[in-house]
Chain A
């Protein structure tokens, strides 16, 4: 969470606890370990990847291969709040284009971008599995369904 000029300050006890929890599992510990570390820091810094490599005994190239493969893992800085807007069929039918436009307008960024203050990252996603609540977005772990442009404004004002 705390990031100053590329000089990262981690919650080291938490990082250590995660590494200890997963290090005995070999490769099967890799994905959960990366997920848990990302939970702490928001994204997987080179230093964290190095630590994972050492403790789980996995080549660094393999670790990056895995991170690159999965949409939910990040090896670049992302906003503290990640907004994932669904733009798949059911959400499109219910007006996701207007919802997405409102997010863009409010945040002043496009999909795949992060606001300069590091608060928000905006992403467009295929079906997120909440089509009965279309159009919807996942805001970090929160589900926001039946969105309208007005609801988007209210949501962001409250944050």
Chain B
């Protein structure tokens, strides 16, 4: 497969994730050493040249955030790694943390040096005990070897990391909710603006990046931004992790550049659908994502290419459903998820997710009433337009895309 790469996952399964020696022996901390010989401005320039786009779901250019925080005068500043990964169908950050934990530490240290922060946080999903254990061990080991602490790697740069465990709330993956959670409050999203780059954690300038985003940093520092930008697709360069689950022979995490097609991911990398059954639907991007059908198999799995067909890459989750699946049972779970996880801070989402889940639960029992489709569209658009955070804004995506794509409630219907 031309598109398949081994950059982010280069060490996974090849080294002992608890061994600092093996990490260093396989090139680990070389990027940090190199970064410390560069000026922060040069590092941000490399990241900007690379055109690295955030992998946490919002697809925001990483250098943009870094530069904004680097320019802030307020002190202290913070760097935060978002390891709360709770989007249904997503397990690529867990794979990185369990398989190559030192890499996250190295990347976060580089980010901190580039923006002028001396303290970092990693907020790890509460249901990821092994990832937490591995990272906690890696932080201790890194401290002992002076990759964290005073005078990192013999330089003037001081940096340390504190780990936080989430406590079971999906919305805490939203960046401002995550800050609230670390600050010991109910983890509800804040109104934006102000943005994290000026008022983030403890109201200080903060860079927050996803685990996978950070995993891209060491190779960018070592090989340069131009090298990175030449990988894969114009404007959506670099490797991406895809978490494949559902009806495939080999569910798992696959790494490829974003010219990888859905067909190759499902039928080549993940081994196709077992039992000779036919493909019915694929949910791309998790519960906040959209459904695709067999006619869309040739779409490339990039930010822009999916956007063009009204879908989204989101976190890179790909859930595959064969012809035997009752999609209403799947939609019932998707809508129940949002109902359950809505934090209740704003009414469109609090009420919308409840009504939506109730209607879908009824439809899943086969009880269809006239006007259902119009009602669901109405609820969905209201949530999309009027919700405070991404949870409410995306809570109707999967449902409405399924209704559209598979004419679940008849053609046209509401609109």
Hey, which bits of chain A sit against chain B, CB under 8 A? Answer: 26-32, 34-35, 58, 62, 65-66, 69-73, 84, 87-90, 92-94, 125-132, 134, 138, 141, 143
| Given A35-B167, A93-B321, A126-B337, CB of A131 within 8 Å of CB of B184 | no
Q: How far is the CB of B248 from chain A (nearest CB, A)?
A: 10
Top 6 A-B pairs, shortest CB-CB distance: A71-B168, A27-B184, A30-B184, A70-B167, A131-B245, A72-B168
Contact sample, A vs B, 23 pairs, CB 8 Å cutoff: A27-B184, A31-B181, A58-B184, A65-B186, A70-B167, A71-B169, A72-B127, A73-B168, A84-B127, A88-B333, A88-B337, A94-B246, A126-B88, A126-B333, A127-B87, A127-B88, A127-B89, A129-B128, A130-B94, A131-B91, A131-B319, A132-B243, A143-B129
In the complex, A71→B35 CA distance in Å? 40
Q: How far is the CB of A94 from chain B (nearest CB, A)?
A: 8
Contacts of B164 in A (CB 8 A): 31-32
CB of A90 within 8 A of CB of B167, answer: no
Contact with A along B329-356 (1 / 0, CB 8 A): 1100110110011010000000000000
Q: B338's closest neighbor in chain A, by CB? A: A126
Q: How far is the CB of A148 from chain B (nearest CB, A)?
A: 16
B74 at the interface (CB under 8 A from A): no
Contacts of A27 in B (CB 8 A): 183-185
In the complex, A129→B96 CA distance in Å? 13
Contacts of A129 in B (CB 8 A): 85-86, 90-91, 94, 125, 127-128
Q: Which of B301-342 contact A (CB under 8 A)?
A: 319, 321, 325, 329-330, 333-334, 336-337, 340-341
CB of A72 within 8 A of CB of B91, answer: no
CB of B247 within 8 A of CB of A126, answer: no
In the complex, A71→B186 CA distance in Å? 12
Contacts of B129 in A (CB 8 A): 141, 143
Contacts of B330 in A (CB 8 A): 89, 92-93
Contacts of B87 in A (CB 8 A): 127
Q: B126's closest neighbor in chain A, by CB? A: A72
Contacts of B94 in A (CB 8 A): 129-130
Q: A130's closest neighbor in chain B, by CB? A: B91
| Given A90-B319, A129-B127, CB of A31 within 8 Å of CB of B329 | no
Contacts of B126 in A (CB 8 A): 35, 70, 72
| Given A28-B182, A126-B340, A128-B127, CB of A70 within 8 Å of CB of B169 | yes
Q: Give the number of residues in B that approach A within 8 Å (Cβ atoms).
A: 51
Contact with A along B60-102 (1 / 0, CB 8 A): 0000000000000000000000000111111100100000000
In the complex, A132→B254 CA distance in Å? 12
In the complex, A54→B269 CA distance in Å? 56
Q: How far is the CB of B242 from chain A (nearest CB, A)?
A: 12
Residue from B85, B168, B185, B252 in contact with A66 in the complex, judged by beta carbons closer than 8 Å? B185
CB of B245 within 8 A of CB of A132, answer: yes
Contacts of A29 in B (CB 8 A): 184
CB of B89 within 8 A of CB of A89, answer: yes
B283 at the interface (CB under 8 A from A): yes
In the complex, A71→B337 CA distance in Å? 13
Contact with A along B172-198 (1 / 0, CB 8 A): 000000000111111100000000000
Contacts of A69 in B (CB 8 A): 169, 186-187, 343
| Given A92-B329, A92-B333, CB of A35 within 8 Å of CB of B165 | yes
Other contacts beyond A71-B169, A72-B168, A89-B333: 17, CB < 8 A: A27-B185, A30-B184, A31-B182, A35-B126, A35-B165, A35-B167, A58-B184, A62-B185, A71-B167, A72-B166, A89-B287, A92-B329, A93-B321, A127-B87, A129-B86, A134-B245, A138-B127
Contacts of B340 in A (CB 8 A): 126
In the complex, A125→B184 CA distance in Å? 24
Q: How far is the CB of B8 from chain A (nearest CB, A)?
A: 17
